[in-house]
Amino acid sequence: MAIVGAGSLASFLAPALGQAGYTITEIIVRGRTPSLQRARTLAAKVGARAVTVETAALDADLLWFCVPDREIRAAATSIASRGASAIRVAFHSSGALLSGELEALRKQDVAVASVHPLMTFVPRSRPSLASVPFALEGDAAATKLARRIAGDLGGQSFSLPSRRKTAYHAWATMTSPLLLAYLVSLEEAAGAAGLSRKDARRMSLPIIVQTLANYGSMGSKHSFSGPFIRGDAETVAKHLAVLKKLSGAREVYVALARTALRGLPVKNRKELSRLLSD
């Protein structure tokens, strides 16, 4: 394989593929100095060559694009312009974009697919891929190979119809990036209780972890607790009053409370709905 890019995903994926028995031949980046420095560091870890598009041998069977969404099409077009006779399959890992971003390579008889692992990749973190879902969309030959590779990495793949891709990515964005946005609001609310952000993180983790464990084993309805399941409108009114000084956190509280009214076992719905509409 050859990897295009040397960012967070590439820096995780290349070693993981190497440990799974795949040979990484090249880390391909643009000719900018910071990109080349990252590529050299990554290449040294996996026994590959750090190259630019212009100097790449392009002698791998599989090309895996691990670049930002806005760069995928241009990168594929640039590599296709070099000729890609050795390459049989190409992947990109955008959760939002279709395999058609690699059309320039497809026109050269390369089978293409989008292969998106539903996991967060950030510097200084090494997540496990055990049971991680990989969403696959694209040509049959490419998705067949992607399914095998995902399995070798410990993941579980599933086919994603092209018409569902945007909705899938909206859901994926809610699973981690927007979950963190919620946690920022949680820290703001904890500040009103006199806690620092660091203390809020430390003290919130036990209940967050238990809530997620309950959700995983019992689902949302059987994991629900607190004033809404009791229908305690008086307490909710006090929450809303104290959060008036924190408009952002209050907006999040109200939005989530309204979601609870729609989909969770809430008592005293009429009174709570009135409070949330004020």
pLDDT of the chain, 278 residues: tens digit per residue: 999 999 999 999 999 999 999 999 999 998 878 899 999 999 999 999 999 999 999 999 999 999 999 999 999 999 999 987 899 999 999 999 999 999 999 999 999 999 999 999 999 899 999 999 999 999 999 999 999 999 999 999 999 999 999 999 999 999 999 999 999 999 999 999 999 999 999 999 999 999 999 999 999 999 999 999 999 999 999 999 999 999 999 999 999 999 999 999 999 999 999 999 98
Out of 127, 162, 197, pick the residue that ends a domain: 162
164: which residues sit within 8 A by CB, 6+ positions away? Answer: none
Per-residue tokens: 250 = 């209050």
The reported pTM is 0.92
Residues 218 and 266 in one domain: yes
Residue 157, Cβ neighbours under 10 Å: how many? 20
Residues 152 and 195 in one domain: no
Q: Is residue 170 part of a domain?
A: no
Per-residue tokens: 68 = 């930002």
CA 103 – CA 80 distance, rounded (Å): 9
Integer CA distances (angstroms), 231 to 259, 261, 265, in order: 15, 10, 10
The enclosing domain of 39 has a CATH number of 3.40.50.720
Instruction: Say what the pLDDT of residue 83 is.
Output: 85
Instruction: Say what the pLDDT of residue 12 is.
Output: 96
139: which residues sit within 8 A by CB, 6+ positions away? Answer: 99, 106, 111, 112, 113
User: Would you mind telling me the total number of residues written for the chain in this entry?
Assistant: 278
Residues 158 and 256 in one domain: no
Instruction: Say what the pLDDT of residue 251 is.
Output: 96
Biggest CA pair distance of the chain: 70
Integer CA distances (angstroms), 138 to 93, 102, 142, 145, in order: 12, 10, 7, 11
Instruction: Say what the pLDDT of residue 278 is.
Output: 80
Q: How far from chain centre, in Å, is Cα 156?
A: 15
Residues 102 and 132 in one domain: yes
Residues 222 and 185 in one domain: yes
88: which residues sit within 8 A by CB, 6+ positions away? Answer: 61, 62, 110, 111, 141
3-class SS of residue 241: helix
Helix ranges (DSSP H) in 50-157: 69-82, 103-106, 140-152
Q: Is residue 168 part of a domain?
A: no
- Burial annotation 248-278 (CB, 10 A radius, 16+ → b, else e): ebbebbbeebeebeeeeebebeeebeebbee
Contact indicator for 87, 63 with CB cutoff of 8 Å: yes
Per-residue tokens: 241 = 């009053």
What residue numbers bound the domain in which 270 lies? 177-277
CA 273 – CA 278 distance, rounded (Å): 9
Count structural domains, the chain. Answer: 2
Q: Is residue 133 part of a domain?
A: yes
The type of residue at 215 is Y
- Residue 115: what are its φ and ψ, rounded to 5°? -130, 100
CA 62 – CA 133 distance, rounded (Å): 21
Out of 133, 162, 191, pick the residue that ends a domain: 162
Residues 68 and 31 in one domain: yes
